[in-house]
Amino acid sequence: MGPGERFEAVYRACAGAVRAYVLRRARSDEVDDVVAEVFLVAWRRFDDVPEDPLPWLLGVGRRVLANRRRGHARELALHSKLRVLDAAVVSSEWPLADPDDRVLAALSGLSAFDQEVLLLVTWEGLEPARAARVLGIRTGAFLMRLHRARRRFARALAESPGTARSDAASTDTQEVLR
């Protein structure tokens, strides 16, 4: 199999998962551009793509999103200096559909790294070894960070005021804490 065919096979196998990863972390109007950038990096660095390409591709996606956030932050700072920044532009939203407010509040109160650790395991369904590769850390370090993130999430959830959760929300929360 030639490089073009191998790239196509990697794209077919991983594009859906990469798109889902990006969709949960970016505005819907950015998703196609981010996914395209991820696979452009993969094409340019195809010799670096490992046998199990998904964690590597998600790591690239994570860095592309981080670069976009930094670029966006610089853009906002410039707008602020020019005093043309509209308050609506600054509003940040989670790309989630109908989240439990308590879960969302607890999750958003965590550091970005804790959020990423929890979301890689819960939303992306990655095993710790693969999630560790996405973050570029060792599996043991990831497991420790996952344990700590779950503990901080549980504490934040317990401290959040609110009404009784539905059974579905409770099940979702228990999934995160496992």
- Return all residues near 172 (Cβ < 8 A) that are at least 6 apart: 100, 103
Report the pLDDT value the prediction gives residue 93, as an integer from 0 to 100: 40
Report the pLDDT value the prediction gives residue 109, as an integer from 0 to 100: 86
CA 20/CA 123 separation, integer angstroms? 9
Measured in degrees and rounded to the nearest 5, phi and psi for residue 30 equal -100, -15
The b-or-e profile of 43-70 (16+ CB within 10 A means b, else e) is eeeeeebeeebbbbbbebbbebbeebee
Side chain identity at 48, as an amino acid letter? Answer: D
CA 22/CA 58 separation, integer angstroms? 9
Per-10-residue mean pLDDT of the chain, 178 residues long, equals 90 97 93 96 94 96 93 71 37 45 82 91 92 94 95 89 52 55
CA 64/CA 62 separation, integer angstroms? 6
Report the pLDDT value the prediction gives residue 5, as an integer from 0 to 100: 92
Report the pLDDT value the prediction gives residue 81, as an integer from 0 to 100: 56
Report the pLDDT value the prediction gives residue 94, as an integer from 0 to 100: 42
Query: Which structural domains are found in the chain, ordered by start?
Result: 1-93 (1.10.1740.10), 96-178 (1.10.10.10)
Report the pLDDT value the prediction gives residue 107, as an integer from 0 to 100: 84
- Return all residues near 173 (Cβ < 8 A) that are at least 6 apart: 100, 103, 157, 165
pLDDT digits (tens, 9 = 90+) for 20-30: 999 999 999 99
pLDDT digits (tens, 9 = 90+) for 124-163: 899 999 999 999 999 999 999 999 999 999 998 888 776 4
Report the pLDDT value the prediction gives residue 68, as an integer from 0 to 100: 92
Question: What single DSSP character describes residue 46?
Answer: G
Q: How buried is residue 104: exposed, middle or buried, by Cβ count under 10 Å (0-12/13-18/19+)?
A: middle
pTM for this entry: 0.58
Q: Does residue 170 contact residue 157 with C-beta atoms inside 8 Å?
A: no
